């Protein structure tokens, strides 16, 4: 079985982003369907599952932990054979009342209970809150590592300066940023820095919310309730049309390789970087298995070079950019 490393964590080359089973893609699947989808991914060979405390229908507080509970139930009997990553948010008022370490530990203990676990392998700060120094968060995460409650820690949607500041206090295991063929900003500094410092990179939206699969077209109608795709710039009808040459390129390469466009987009990423483990998300079992199958698609040196050269000449319409906390609240958050 193929594997990769995020820091010292050995995982399958592609993980499963579980958000869509609880939030973000419209109507969520029935409970049993979600459990079956997670188990199907595991049976296929996936050993890396990504969730967050916030993932629940409509992201309302009363639904917090819905996704973690699904994973806890689905993987209970194989818990020692998988790596689970989850994430927390920090609120300034909460930290002021309970202290930073106490707040983080309370969030972690709640997640562990939902995950039916005594420890979690990878614990992310979901978004940096500029009112809370990331160095202080790093120190608190170091305590949790020393106590054996987490195996490593990470940051999401961050730049190199933030990564470096945190890593200097407690070495990071992984950074989770947006990255795909149409969102390549992290290639310039983030991924190379992480590679040089033993930090894994976990791309979310590696298929650009379905754009690169070719299955999302200008005629696609997204659900109006709890479907973040309606707010993704690249998925506007205008930008889908403008980015069509990239999709057509993927379709051409996929046909020659006996693969799918989504698989080619993931295989390209795996071929390019040794420290990258993408986590494509879907709520459909067949799509989840298709995505995982990308680890069996290998691009030759010539195929990769041709793909890189052609991609480099194609303009990209629409970008999502960073999303951060500003003070006490999160703005423009869609993952």
CA distances from 178 to 4, 207, 301 (A): 19, 10, 25
Spatial CA neighbour of 173 closest among 8, 284, 333, 324: 8
Q: Please state, in angstroms and rounded to a whole number, the distance separating the CA atoms of residues 41 and 71.
A: 12
Q: Please state, in angstroms and rounded to a whole number, the distance separating the CA atoms of residues 169 and 266.
A: 32
Query: How deeply is 256 buried, as exposed, middle or buried, from its count of CB atoms within 10 A (0-12, 13-18, 19+)?
Result: exposed
Structural contact between residues 170 and 143, judged by C-beta atoms closer than 8 angstroms: no
Q: Please state, in angstroms and rounded to a whole number, the distance separating the CA atoms of residues 14 and 128.
A: 25
Which residues are bridge partners to 129 per DSSP? 325
- Tokens describing residue 210: 């379905």
Q: How many CB atoms lie within 10 A of CB 208?
A: 26
Element (H, E) at 73: helix 66-74
Q: Which residues are catalytic?
A: 55
Structural contact between residues 141 and 113, judged by C-beta atoms closer than 8 angstroms: no
Find all residues with CB under 8 Å of 220, minimum gap 6, and list them.
Answer: 235, 240
Q: Give the length of the chain.
A: 335
């Amino acid at each position: 079985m193929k594997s990769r490393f995020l820091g010292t964590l050995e995982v399958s080359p592609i993980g499963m982003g579980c958000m869509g089973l609880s939030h973000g893609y419209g109507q969520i699947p029935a409970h049993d369907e979600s459990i079956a989808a997670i188990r199907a991914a595991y049976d296929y060979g996936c050993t890396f599952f990504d969730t967050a405390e916030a993932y629940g229908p409509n992201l309302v507080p009363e639904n917090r932990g819905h996704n973690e509970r699904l994973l806890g139930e689905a993987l209970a009997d194989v818990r020692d054979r998988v790596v689970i990553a989850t994430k927390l948010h920090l609120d300034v008022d909460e930290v002021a009342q309970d202290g930073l370490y106490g707040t983080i530990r309370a969030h972690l203990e709640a997640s562990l209970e939902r995950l039916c676990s005594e420890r979690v392998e990878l614990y992310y700060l979901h978004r940096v809150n500029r009112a809370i120094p990331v160095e202080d968060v790093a120190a608190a995460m170091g305590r949790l590592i020393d106590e054996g409650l987490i195996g490593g820690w990470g940051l999401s949607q961050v730049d190199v300066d933030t990564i470096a500041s945190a890593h200097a206090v407690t070495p990071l295991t992984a950074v989770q940023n947006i990255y795909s063929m149409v969102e390549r900003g992290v290639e310039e500094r983030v991924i190379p820095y992480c590679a040089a410092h033993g930090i894994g990179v976990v791309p979310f939206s590696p298929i650009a919310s379905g754009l690169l699969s070719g299955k999302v077209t200008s005629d696609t109608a997204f659900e109006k309730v709890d479907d973040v795709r309606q707010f993704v710039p690249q998925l506007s009808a205008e930008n889908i049309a403008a980015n069509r040459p990239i999709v057509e390129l993927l379709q051409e390469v996929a046909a020659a390789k006996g693969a799918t466009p989504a698989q080619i987009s993931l295989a390209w990423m795996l071929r390019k970087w040794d420290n990258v483990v993408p986590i494509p998300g879907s709520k459909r079992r067949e799509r989840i298995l298709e995505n995982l199958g990308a680890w069996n698609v290998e691009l030759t040196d010539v195929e990769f070079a041709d793909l890189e050269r052609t991609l480099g000449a194609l303009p990209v319409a629409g970008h999502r950019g960073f999303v951060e906390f500003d003070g006490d609240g999160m703005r423009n958050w869609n993952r």
